[in-house]
Amino acid sequence: MRPLLVALLVFFQLQLSFAHPQTPLNPAAAKVRAQVQALPIGGELTVIMPGGREYHGNLKSIDSDSFSLREVDLKSEITLRYEDVKNVLKGYGRPGFGGRRVHPRRNLIAGLCVIGGLLIPVIVAVASDKS
């Protein structure tokens, strides 16, 4: 009797798993899923949506078609589907001017531009000095 019961349970379990087949992701969504799966649970990330909206937070969970993050500015959990996301970046920055968070990479680029802008007049002045 027990082997028959086990066989029936396995049969019904297989039926349930085939009843909800997973739809394959498009290439852009598969890229986003790979970016998310490269991050550790609890890791910091920035999610960029197609409309330009950004979410900053810690990765909470990863599913086959979506992922969840704890958004630090909204102080709530957000679940996003891979198809709805444009890009995922590792880490997030501090709030900048106007209260918007600025990704650390953008901070680095802006800092280098400011330093370059300050050094160019010094270099031009030293090069044009004839003494």
Top-confidence residue, 14 or 55 = 55
Strand (E) or helix (H) holding 47: strand 44-48
User: If DSSP codes are grouped into helix, strand and coil, which group holds residue 98?
Assistant: helix
When pLDDT is averaged across residues 44-54 and rounded to a whole number, the result is 91
Question: Which amino acid type is present at position 27?
Answer: P
User: If DSSP codes are grouped into helix, strand and coil, which group holds residue 93?
Assistant: coil
| Phi, psi values for residue 103, rounded to 5° | -65, 145
3-state SS of 13-29 is HHHHHHHCCCCCCCHHH
CATH (residue range 20-128): 2.30.30.100
Query: What's the predicted TM-score (pTM) here?
Result: 0.62
When pLDDT is averaged across residues 8-18 and rounded to a whole number, the result is 61
**HSE-up of 39 (CA within 13 Å, CB side)?**
25
CA 35 to chain centre: 7
Residue-wise pLDDT for 82-118, tens only, equals: 999 999 998 887 776 666 676 667 767 878 888 988 8
